[in-house]
Amino acid sequence: MENSLRFSPSSLNEAGCFKLLELPSDICKLLDDSSTLRLTIKGQPGEDAVLCTNDKTYSLRSVILSNSVLVVTAPPDTSDALDFDAESVVIRDQISEILEVTPTIPKLHKLASLLRGKDYNEEDEELNDEDEDHSKFTYADAKRLVQASEIELERGIKDRRILDINGDLRRIAPNYLSHIIELILTSLVSLSLPHERAPVEELCTCLADQHEVPRVVSRQILSWFGSIQDGHWKMDVDNVIREAGLSLLRNRKRDPIPTPDLLSAWQAMVGDKFSSAADLKLLAGNYLVSPARSGDSESLTYFPRSELPLDPVARFNDLFLTRNRWKDEDIAPFLTDIAVDSKERDKLLLKYARVVTGSQGIWYTARTTI
């Protein structure tokens, strides 16, 4: 069959209107398996665009093609195309690049700047619905401005301890959060409630009546640190114990604390029932270890990865300025939030660090090109 090749009468206006997207196999599978899948491109002016599915974020990178691709269609149904015959093929555009789609971490760090100055603490106990709308930062605002899938955004809001107060997103002050965690633990004991199945209403009533913690706050905090089902709360023990330990580290700022002292204070804070769960592994990525000196024990210094740059070059710069060499098990926790998986983390290490093998094993040092 022969076709005549013609340029569209609107080719000048349509030039550059078409983009060729190369989808990875996991998105193609989703397209085949789901009729409800939505692909959303997100990005504000000055930001690199990302592609979001329901639960993942992908970067978009332009790749030049060695051969151009023509976008062709049947003749358009317009008066300008009356002289086209039925076998005509119309050239609508010429593409010389494709958009490559690769998994990336969601840009959740933007939440910190968007919520700056909006911390919620115990001084904000009077909750009302009369706040002016223009002062609020809502979930819809976060969904529009933050480059992340909806599931990743929901998880990021939870992990960053962000409350929804009458439609206004506000990050709870860390000291206030640790205070409420202590109150929850003591209330479980005083009310003789099982942490595996504590009645939510009874626990929230206790926190409201005896400690003036608003129900809208306590219920959200319970959902952060466990699961709520059929009116009962099942506590995520590791998550609660981790938050308690972080509060002790955080309060010392950059002042080292001997490991035995931290563990002792930590166990006392969570009570006898959960003291055995206080394990330093829960705090990985939030502290540095200072080796023990003669007659002393090792000390820990608060050093949270959440305060490190997200850009890999800047992240490795900061890490190697802090320490000139790292063991794999020590540096790995500080890379989990800039790599989508362990394979990408290992690629970052190969790219930005140099491997040195010594008598004490394998160490990573800075490359001179950083």
- Calculate mean pLDDT across residues 129-149: 81
Quote the CA–CA distance of 202 and 199 in Å, as a whole number: 6
Please tell me the total count of domains within the chain: 4
92-122 pLDDT per residue, tens: 788 889 999 999 999 999 999 999 999 999 7
| Residue 90 belongs to domain with CATH number | 2.60.40
Q: Tell me the three state secondary structure of residue 335.
A: coil
Quote the CA–CA distance of 163 and 349 in Å, as a whole number: 36
Greater pLDDT, 65 or 58: 58
Q: Does any domain span residue 253?
A: no
Q: Does any domain span residue 260?
A: no
**Which of 1-15, 281-295, 346-360 is least confident?**
1-15
Quote the CA–CA distance of 164 and 154 in Å, as a whole number: 12
Which range of residues forms the domain containing residue 116? 110-128+135-171
Token digits for 148?
């992340």
Token digits for 264?
């002792």
Question: Could you count the other beta carbons within 10 Å of the beta carbon of residue 114?
Answer: 14
Q: 251, 212, 244, 206: which is closest to 225 by C-alpha?
A: 244
Phi, psi (rounded to 5 degrees) for 90 = -100, 130
Q: Does any domain span residue 262?
A: no
Q: Does any domain span residue 347?
A: yes
Contact 47, 56 (CB under 8 A): no
Q: Does any domain span residue 261?
A: no
Query: How is residue 76 annotated by DSSP?
Result: P
227-280 pLDDT per residue, tens: 999 999 999 999 999 999 999 999 987 789 999 999 999 999 999 999 999 999
Instruction: Indicate the pLDDT class of residue 133, thresholds 50, 70 and 90.
Output: very low
End-to-end CA distance of the chain: 59
